[in-house]
Amino acid sequence: MKKVEEYKADPYLATVLNCALWVFYGLPIVHPDSLLVITINVTGLAIELFYLSVFFYFAPTPRKVKVGIWLIGEMVFVGIVATLTLLLFHTHNQRSTFVGIICVIFISIMYIAPLTIMSKVIKTKSVKYMPFSLSLANFLNGVIWVIYALIKFDLFILIGNGLGTISGAVQLILYACYYKTTPIDDEEEENLSKANSQLQLSGNEEQAKRVSA
């Protein structure tokens, strides 16, 4: 198909900003002994940037411009947060608290971003633009990080990912409710029609062979 249609870049843009902030939060100069936080979020950042590059490639020019502006804005914002953290705060506790609060705010935005898609699902009674795999991944991601936060007693990770768990659960519930009412794409309908035609043709040929026999 090679087009983005009505897919939105909002969740991916929100996740890029979220991962970048959590990578900074996990650095030794901010919150020591957080290697897992860094590695997971660096991986997440790379994956989201790959998704966005695919979206950017197939999107029309106005949407490319919008995505580009948002990415530049996010990079500038992370730079400002890093500068303020290093200049204004001089202990690990102060820095982790300041960056942790910002991370909670933006991880909440990341998990709220799919609300635009969820509202579309409810209005259209179709889950076409809310992939099940992404919703399931969001839910499992939230659950795993909640468990990690409870083990490490990290309140900032717990709050943000607790919201993520709820958001993912709501998406899965919506998927279960509207999966059966999702209309079939024209392309899928055409494929089904061809398959039915082939089956009917095969049946007619088989019947003709029996009659001739």
For residues 103 and 62, what is the distance between their CA atoms, to the nearest angstrom?
30
pLDDT at 168: 84
pLDDT tens digits for the chain (213 residues)? 566 666 677 778 888 888 899 999 999 999 998 888 999 899 989 988 898 888 888 877 888 888 889 999 999 999 999 999 999 999 999 999 999 999 998 888 777 766 777 777 777 777 776 777 777 887 888 888 899 889 888 888 888 888 888 888 888 888 888 777 776 654 444 454 554 555 454 554 555 445 455
| SS3 annotation, the chain | CCCCCCCCCHHHHHHHHHHHHHHHHHCCCCCCCCHHHHHHHHHHHHHHHHHHHHHHHHCCHHHHHHHHHHHHHHHHHHHHHHHHHHHHCCCHHHHHHHHHHHHHHHHHHHHHCCHHHHHHHHHHCCCCCCCHHHHHHHHHHHHHHHHHHHHHCCHHHHHHHHHHHHHHHHHHHHHHHHCCCCCCCHHHHHHHHHHHHHHHHHHHHHHHHHHHC
The domain in which residue 51 lies consists of 1-88
| Token couple for 110 | 């990341």
Asked, for residue 129, whether it belongs to a domain, the answer is no
Asked, for residue 27, whether it belongs to a domain, the answer is yes
pLDDT at 79: 95
Asked, for residue 206, whether it belongs to a domain, the answer is no
Asked, for residue 173, whether it belongs to a domain, the answer is no
pLDDT at 192: 44
Asked, for residue 105, whether it belongs to a domain, the answer is no
Asked, for residue 15, whether it belongs to a domain, the answer is yes
Q: Total structural domains in the chain?
A: 1
Asked, for residue 140, whether it belongs to a domain, the answer is no
Asked, for residue 12, whether it belongs to a domain, the answer is yes
Cβ proximity of 52 and 67 under 8 Å: yes
